[in-house]
Amino acid sequence: MKFSQAEKGRVFIIRLEHGEILHEEIEKFALVHKIETAVLTVVGGVDKNSKLIVGPEKGDTTPVVPMEHILDNPHEVTGTGTIFPDENQNPILHMHIACGRRSSTITGCVRNGVKIWNVMEIMLIELVGTQAKRVVDSKTGFKLLEP
């Protein structure tokens, strides 16, 4: 286990609107507002053709080959995530969402392009006083959190 400690900074209440791409908008927001690290919670809707990363093709091989799932209809969503900078100080959103429609649910990472359907509400809590960042792991290719 690796860890560090942080303090709560500013709190932002954000509404994304129809057609916006979740990770792009949040990373732009973080740049504009000089948010280096944060924790986020989301609730709202995502549109058809949104792309989720839904796991590796094979669990015990490297390099990791991610699987992608494309939503065929709008879905209700709830999710949580974090923002930490990469080696170039760019804010990187890592967020997983659960997408439900009727009696089925799919969960995945938003990194490949999740498009907002009508509205998404986001609570973003800035974390301050930490040097944590994302660093590329040579084995997996993931940008892993280094607390």
Query: How many CA atoms lie within 13 Å of 86's alpha carbon, on the beta-carbon side?
Result: 12
Instruction: Please indicate, yes or no, if residue 8 is contained in any of the structural domains.
Output: no
Q: How many CB atoms lie within 10 A of CB 38?
A: 26
CA-nearest of 75, 77, 73, 79 to 94 is 79
Q: Which residue has the tokens 């973080």?
A: 30
Instruction: Please indicate, yes or no, if residue 42 is contained in any of the structural domains.
Output: yes
63 — pLDDT class (breaks 50, 70, 90) = confident
For residues 35 and 26, give the distance between their C-alpha atoms in angstroms, rounded to a whole number: 10
Q: What is the 3-state secondary structure (H, E, C) of 48-116?
A: CCCEEEEEECCCCCCCCCEEEEECCCCEEEEEEEEEEECCCCCEEEEEEEEEEECCEEEEEECCCCCEE
Q: How many domains does the chain have?
A: 1
Range of the domain at 132: 14-146
- With residue 142 as reference, give the H or E element that holds it: none
Instruction: Please indicate, yes or no, if residue 5 is contained in any of the structural domains.
Output: no
142 — pLDDT class (breaks 50, 70, 90) = confident
Instruction: Please indicate, yes or no, if residue 2 is contained in any of the structural domains.
Output: no
Q: Is the pLDDT of residue 125 over 90?
A: yes
Instruction: Please indicate, yes or no, if residue 46 is contained in any of the structural domains.
Output: yes
Q: What percent of the chain has pLDDT over 70?
A: 100
93 — pLDDT class (breaks 50, 70, 90) = very high
pLDDT digits (tens, 9 = 90+) for 73-86: 999 999 999 999 99
Q: Is the pLDDT of residue 134 over 90?
A: yes
Q: What is the mean pLDDT of residues 39-53?
A: 98
Q: Is the pLDDT of residue 42 over 90?
A: yes
Q: What is the mean pLDDT of residues 93-119?
A: 97
Query: At 89, which CATH number?
Result: 3.30.1330.80
Instruction: Please indicate, yes or no, if residue 1 is contained in any of the structural domains.
Output: no
139 — pLDDT class (breaks 50, 70, 90) = confident
Instruction: Please indicate, yes or no, if residue 114 is contained in any of the structural domains.
Output: yes
